[in-house]
């Protein structure tokens, strides 16, 4: 299968996303929330159920174009955005469908920060658990998300995972945001850098990891044990819960340890993406000290 050659001049007789109408007069497809796969735009139609991933924003689109595993179907780009990513577009060998900022505002919603880019592509192949385990042998910990449904939080966690060398991300196939527009924008390109494995049953996957020698460390704000006392030697997985609800009871029971992050201010709680960044940074420091 090859990337779809696109038309440099853009489509004349159909709207974006395959809907009839001109590039300025076609049906609105989705808002910034709907681009993540959840809900249609007000007064518009639902996103097409074609199995494609729709990414927007410079970092997300650039990372997808640089990822040979990402099969590109269509790239809508403004003139300014084309100039910014000219080398990446040329290196990938994908042609473009020219759009105006207004076209993309109409498709994605006026509040979406698309930076002149909308990429339609196939989902990435899902890694196997064995592949993630192999990566964890030489890289950082795995990150497990327990019913983290907000795409901004999940995307920010993925961005921290890329920044601090996590081996991969695991979350439940249900009760998690789709690997699409809003999450990808928040991940700032990390969606195409860190392998993500959706699973049916998180607790069962945790037991599989324990059987393979992983230490499962759950972040729980009320725990008296401290993250800073964890050595992060050997294969490790960090387990984080949804903001507000935290880790579910079965998830807590399946962890080897529950720890909290030491704070000094009057506001002692962190949201899940901030907690992930702190924990992954600490894990990276411990690995560096261990190797030294």
pLDDT category, 12, cuts 50, 70, 90? Answer: very low
Measured between alpha carbons, how far is 243 from 147 in angstroms, rounded to an integer?
9
Q: What is the pLDDT of residue 123?
A: 96
pLDDT category, 289, cuts 50, 70, 90? Answer: confident
Q: What is the pLDDT of residue 177?
A: 95
Q: Is the dihedral of CA 181, 182, 188, 194 positive or negative?
A: negative
Mean pLDDT of 282-291: 89
Q: What is the pLDDT of residue 267?
A: 59
* Residue-wise pLDDT tens digits, 114-165: 999 999 999 999 999 999 999 999 999 999 999 999 999 999 999 999 999 9
In this structure, of 32-41, 176-185, 232-241, the range with the lowest mean pLDDT score is 32-41
Mean pLDDT of 242-269: 87
Model-wide pTM > 0.75: yes
Element housing 231 (H / E): none
In this structure, of 2-11, 177-186, 222-231, 282-291, the range with the lowest mean pLDDT score is 2-11
Mean pLDDT of 283-289: 92
* Residue-wise pLDDT tens digits, 215-229: 999 999 889 999 999
Q: What is the pLDDT of residue 243?
A: 79
Measured between alpha carbons, how far is 177 from 152 in angstroms, rounded to an integer?
9
Element housing 217 (H / E): strand 215-219
C-alpha distances out from residue 205 to 250, 256, 283, Å: 12, 14, 21
Please name the residue that has the structure tokens 């959706």. Answer: 198
| Closest-CA residue to 46 (of 57, 35, 62, 55) | 35
Measured between alpha carbons, how far is 101 from 110 in angstroms, rounded to an integer?
10
Give yes or no for residue 77 having a pLDDT over 50.
Answer: yes
Measured between alpha carbons, how far is 279 from 219 in angstroms, rounded to an integer?
9
* Residue-wise pLDDT tens digits, 151-207: 999 999 999 999 999 999 999 999 999 999 999 999 999 999 999 999 999 999 999
**In 137-291, alpha helices (H):** 151-163, 181-187, 202-211, 249-254, 272-291
| Domains parsed from the chain with CATH numbers | 16-121 (3.30.1330.30), 129-291 (3.40.1280.10)
Apex 222 CA angle, 220 and 226, nearest 5: 70
pLDDT category, 95, cuts 50, 70, 90? Answer: confident
Q: What is the pLDDT of residue 74?
A: 95
């Amino acid at each position: 299968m090859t990337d779809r050659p696109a038309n440099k001049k853009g489509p004349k007789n159909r709207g974006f996303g395959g809907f009839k109408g001109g590039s300025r007069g076609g049906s609105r497809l989705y808002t910034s929330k709907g681009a993540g796969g959840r809900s249609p735009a007000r007064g518009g139609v639902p996103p097409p159920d074609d199995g494609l991933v729709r990414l927007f924003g410079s970092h997300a689109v650039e990372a997808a174009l640089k990822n040979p595993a990402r099969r590109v179907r269509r790239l809508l780009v403004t003139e300014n955005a084309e100039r910014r990513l000219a080398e990446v577009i040329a290196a990938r060998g994908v042609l473009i469908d020219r759009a105006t900022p207004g076209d993309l505002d109409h498709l994605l919603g006026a509040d979406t920060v698309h930076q002149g880019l909308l990429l339609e592509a196939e989902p990435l192949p899902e890694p196997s658990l064995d592949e993630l385990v192999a990566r964890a042998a030489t890289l950082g910990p795995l990150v497990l998300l327990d019913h983290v449904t907000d795409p901004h939080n999940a995307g920010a966690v993925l961005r921290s995972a890329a920044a601090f060398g996590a081996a991969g991300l695991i979350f439940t196939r249900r009760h998690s945001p789709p690997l699409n527009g809003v999450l990808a924008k928040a991940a700032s390109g990390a969606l195409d850098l860190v392998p993500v494995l959706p699973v049916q049953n998180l607790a069962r996957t945790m037991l599989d990891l324990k059987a393979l020698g992983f230490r499962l460390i759950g972040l729980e704000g009320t725990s008296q044990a401290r993250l800073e006392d964890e050595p992060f030697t050997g294969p490790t997985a960090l387990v984080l819960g949804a903001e507000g609800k935290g880790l579910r009871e079965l998830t807590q029971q399946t962890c080897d340890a529950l720890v909290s992050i030491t704070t000094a201010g009057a506001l002692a709680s962190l949201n899940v993406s901030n907690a992930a960044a702190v924990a992954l940074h600490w894990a990276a420091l411990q690995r560096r000290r261990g190797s030294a």
